[in-house]
Amino acid sequence: MQKNGIDVVAMGAAIVDVLANVDDNFIEAQIKKGTIRGAMSLIDEVRAVELYAQMPPAIESSGGSAGNTIAGLASFGGTAAFIGKTAQDQLGDVFRHDLKSMGVEFRTQPIIVGEKTGRCLILVTPDGERTMNTYLGASQLLSTDDLDDDLIQRAAVTYMEGYLFDPVKAKEAFHAASEIAHACGRKVSISLSDPFCVDRHRADFLDFVARHTDILFANEHEIMSLYQTKTFDEAVAAVKGHCEIAVLTRSAKGSVVVSGDKVIEIAAEPVAKVIDTTGAGDQYAAGFLYGYTHHMPLHACGRLGSMAAAEVIGHMGPRPAVRYSEFLKEAA
């Protein structure tokens, strides 16, 4: 890497997670209010206050899909930066601290008045599945004004989360960032984030994949939603040639890396007990991108992703509880 180069700059929603264990009845009651079990629903501030009041005691942990990935990348020992919008409030301080304390560059100016820092109310059921309810708050105000050309030019990979296709200005910022990255020969990567988010913005996602994406992350539901296929194999066939590398995760069935005509299958790592699946896909991306930016073969990138995903689902919260750099010794 060149002098002052960094491995990955991530652009995403700056969100603090509010995690609580709930029973199945609690989820059933929320489904009537628009919650989608196992997925992410956007909520407004009124609904956020209502749902929080009904939730049991919670813990707070910095989150946000791309924020989780960049924290994981830093935990592997990668050099990392983040672009995302917080407010000047206590949860904004928490989000900022938790990235900067890992050595992640984070220079985006917080907003001063108006929206609060975004929150995701996460309901974790006894099976470990997380159901997310996101109040984007300040994070939806990310725009091209927040782009840091220097960071993007220095980063081997600019990584973005599909969740920010909902706010129009953030999506515009993704396009602009991709152009900056490609203009100096860097790679662009995006995660599709959520099958319902893909449904809402399918044409935009297809366009973004075709025009900008070198490395695509998706789980099986998201990739099938993108190409509207009935089977995973059809989706694998559809994605071939659409981007340099497609990384497709399948929970306990492992993952598949599609690169040109090659299809590489990677087994999932064993997990003693699934406590909370929040952050599984995010940490898979962290491991993969660490390997990729350190010139490892694709199967090794996938293995690191699997190890990080297995770690994060073994505890509450979406970010590393151990140093992921330990996995590098294990994998070697």
Residues of this chain that bind a copy of itself (CB under 8 A): 21, 52-62, 71, 89-91, 94, 97-102, 116-117, 317, 319, 321
Largest CA distance in the chain: 55
Residue closer to a copy of itself, measured from CB, 48 or 243: 48
3-state helix/strand/coil string of 83-146: ECCCECCHHHHHHHHHHHCCCCEECCCCECCCCCCEEEEEEECCCCCEEEEEECHHHHHCCHHH
β-strands 155-161, 130-135 pairing? unpaired
Smallest distance from the beta carbon of 88 to a copy of itself, in angstroms?
11
Smallest distance from the beta carbon of 101 to a copy of itself, in angstroms?
5
Structure tokens at 27: 């989820």
Residue closer to a copy of itself, measured from CB, 58 or 209: 58
The secondary structure of residue 324, as a DSSP letter, is T
Residue closer to a copy of itself, measured from CB, 251 or 325: 325
Q: How far apart are CA 301 and CA 247, in angstroms?
A: 10
- Check: CB of residue 176 under 8 Å from CB of residue 78: no
Structure tokens at 25: 């009845």
Q: How far apart are CA 50 and CA 45, in angstroms?
A: 9
Smallest distance from the beta carbon of 266 to a copy of itself, in angstroms?
27
Residue closer to a copy of itself, measured from CB, 97 or 295: 97
Distances (CA, A) of 233 to 191, 269, 290: 19, 22, 27
Smallest distance from the beta carbon of 131 to a copy of itself, in angstroms?
17
Residue closer to a copy of itself, measured from CB, 106 or 205: 106
β-bridge partners, 179: none
Smallest distance from the beta carbon of 159 to a copy of itself, in angstroms?
19
Sign of CA dihedral 181, 71, 299, 4: positive
Residue closer to a copy of itself, measured from CB, 52 or 196: 52
Q: How far apart are CA 181 and CA 179, in angstroms?
A: 5
Residue 163 phi/psi, 5-degree rounding, is -55, -30
Smallest distance from the beta carbon of 16 to a copy of itself, in angstroms?
8
Residue closer to a copy of itself, measured from CB, 111 or 147: 111
Smallest distance from the beta carbon of 81 to a copy of itself, in angstroms?
16
Residue closer to a copy of itself, measured from CB, 62 or 189: 62
Smallest distance from the beta carbon of 59 to a copy of itself, in angstroms?
5
β-bridge partners, 70: none
